[in-house]
Amino acid sequence: MLHLLAQEEAQNPLLPETAELVVGLLCFFIVFGILGKKLLPNIQKTLAERHDAIEGGLERAAQAQAEATRTLEEYRAQLAEARHESARILEQAREQGAVIIAEMREEGQRQRESIIEAGHAQIEADRRQVSVQLRQEVGRLATDLAGRVVGESLEDTARQSRVVDRFLDELDAKAEQTQGAAT
Amino acid sequence: MSAHTLLAEPGCHIRQDCAFPAPGLQSFNFDPIFSVGGFDFTKPMLLAVICTVLVVGFFWAAFNKPKLVPGKLQLAGEIGYSFVARSIAREVIGKKGDKYVPFLTSIFFFVWIMNIMSIIPLAQFPATSRFAYPVALAALVFITYMFLTFKTHGFRGGVKNLVWISGLPKPLVPLIVLLEFIQNVITRPFTLAVRLWANMFAGHMLIVLFSIASWYLLTPTFLSVVAGGSFLLAAFMTAFELLIQFLQAYIFTLLASIYISGALEEGH
């Protein structure tokens, strides 16, 4: 035991053993060789592919988003245009309506005036006719009355009053007749 | 004779005319499992081979037929790969570092798994606590570093890249050139190997120490309380080592990428 210890203590732990160096290097080269040549390139490729897939997905998503935004913009533009158009049409209709109303009003006014005028003319014509008839009638009546006054002797008041009454009756009847004819 | 065989001797306790079998350099030397000619196949070699199989096997299972939508194993592999590719290579070297990701990934996982063997039952030994393994890897990193330096800058530019710092006062130039040369060409590979080796060496030593002590002190006396404490410490150190194992693998890989980055960069 002591002999063994003495022997081992003589060794320097900082002196690498050649056999172990060789084994260590060989082991590392095996690890490095297999990992470096095959396995790590494998995973690098896969990671790159995954990166692509994810990035590609993101890209596609971004594209879809852009398209959606564009479509939305288009819709908005169309909607705005439609609103504008409808407002324009409404405005136009309103204007046209106002014009039509004004025209109608004018037309109505004009018709009313013409009707009134016609009425006035009619009335004037009627009045003239009546006045002419009246004048003729009054003339004839006056002549008639004068004839009778002159032709008959007015002996008594009774006869006189009878004559006057008859005259008035006739006059009434005449007036009724004239009215009937006028209506 | 190793500490492990000492541990296996059931009779060795305190106050039984049995000296404390303190762990030492002998804890890191193993009798050969078999010998072929002059070649002794030892436990650390076996562990290195097992680690090779584990790393290759894991990545083979994970990445042999990679799918766009990864399974659990592939996802685990991808996380490991991305850790090296992004947190180390991209971070330190940048876009140019993508070429060196396989190299760095291999280093990281090979070192890490070898380190982890320190706390795996039955294995319980980090091959990286045998100096030869860190040396082999550091040598590869150093060769890569030198190769890239001269390939990128040519011979004159490469030498300048290694030893020259522009804008120095004239009297300082020889001193700085000497220091830069020592730092870049001698200390860098040496510390790279020693850092990993020493950490794993010390970690293994601590675990062995507390393990042996808890067994050695386990007697039907009050010392068994101390044995319990020692056992707890061994457990704590085991957990702590898990962190150190990862950290050392990470630092080794990180430094390798820093060297590669330095080789690829324009003169500093």
In a domain, B172, yes or no: no
Model pLDDT, residue A157: 63
Q: Tell me which residue of B128, B134, B118 sits closest to B239, measured CA to CA.
A: B118
Query: What's the pLDDT at B182?
Result: 93
Q: What would the two tokens of residue A103 be?
A: 């025209």
- Residue at B67 is within a domain: yes
- Per-residue pLDDT, B217: 87
Residue holding tokens 């897939």?
A53
Contact A27 B52 (CB under 8 A): yes
CA-nearest residue of chain B to A1?
B1
Supply the pLDDT for residue A153.
56
Considering only alpha carbons, which residue of chain A is nearest residue B75?
A: A43
Tell me, yes or no, whether B94 lies in a domain.
yes
Residue A139's pLDDT is 79
**pLDDT of res. A53:** 86
**B215-238 pLDDT per residue, tens:** 888 888 888 898 999 999 999 999
Residue B147 lies in a domain: no
If you average pLDDT over every residue of chain B, what do you get?
89
Rounded-to-integer distance, Cα B193 and Cα B265, Å: 24
Is B145 a domain residue? Answer: no
- Mean pLDDT estimate for chain A: 85
Domain of residue B131: give its range: 13-18+31-135+192-262
> Is there a contact between B55 and A50 if contact means CB atoms under 8 Å apart?
no
Q: Who contacts B142 (Cβ-Cβ below 8 Å, separation ≥6)? A: B188, B189, B192, B259
**Banded model confidence at residue A12, pLDDT cuts 50, 70, 90:** confident
In a domain, B146, yes or no: no
Q: What average pLDDT does the segment B147-160 reach?
A: 91
Find the farthest-apart pair of alpha carbons in chain B and give their distance in angstroms, rounded.
73
Beta carbons of B52 and B110 less than 8 angstroms apart = yes
d(CA B136, CA B149): 20
Q: How far apart are CA B182 and CA B195, in angstroms?
A: 17
Q: Give the model confidence (pLDDT) of B232-263 as tens digits.
A: 999 999 999 999 999 999 999 999 999 999 99
Select the more confidently predicted residue: A57 or A122: A122
How many structural domains is chain B composed of?
Answer: 1
Q: What pLDDT band is residue B189 in, cutting at 50, 70 and 90? A: very high
Above pLDDT 90, what percent of chain B?
Answer: 62
Residue B66 lies in a domain: yes
pTM, 2 dp = 0.69
The neighbouring-strand residues paired with B39 are B36
How many other CB atoms are there within 10 angstroms of residue B238's CB atom?
17
Tell whether the model's pLDDT for residue B203 goes beyond 90: yes
What is the pLDDT averaged over residues A136-163? 72
Per-residue pLDDT at B200: 95
- Domain membership flag for residue B180: no
CB atoms inside a 10 Å sphere around CB A49? 14
Q: How confident is the model at residue A183 (pLDDT cuts 50, 70, 90)?
A: low
Identify the pLDDT of residue A10. 54
A→B contacts (Cβ < 8 Å), by residue, are 1, 4-5, 8-9, 11, 13-21, 23-25, 27-28, 30-32, 34-36, 38-47, 49-50, 53
In angstroms, what CA-CA distances link B104 with B86, B140, B146?
Answer: 11, 11, 16
Count other Cβ atoms within 10 Å, centred on residue A28: 24
**Rounded Cα distance, B152 and A87, in Å:** 75
**A60 has a pLDDT exceeding 60:** yes
In order of A31, A62, B239, B245, the CA distances from B56 in angstroms are 6, 41, 26, 19
pLDDT at site B1: 38
Q: Is B111 on the interface with A (CB under 8 A)?
A: no
Q: Hey, is B38 helix, strand or coil? A: coil
Distance (Å, rounded) from C-alpha B110 to C-alpha B88? Answer: 16
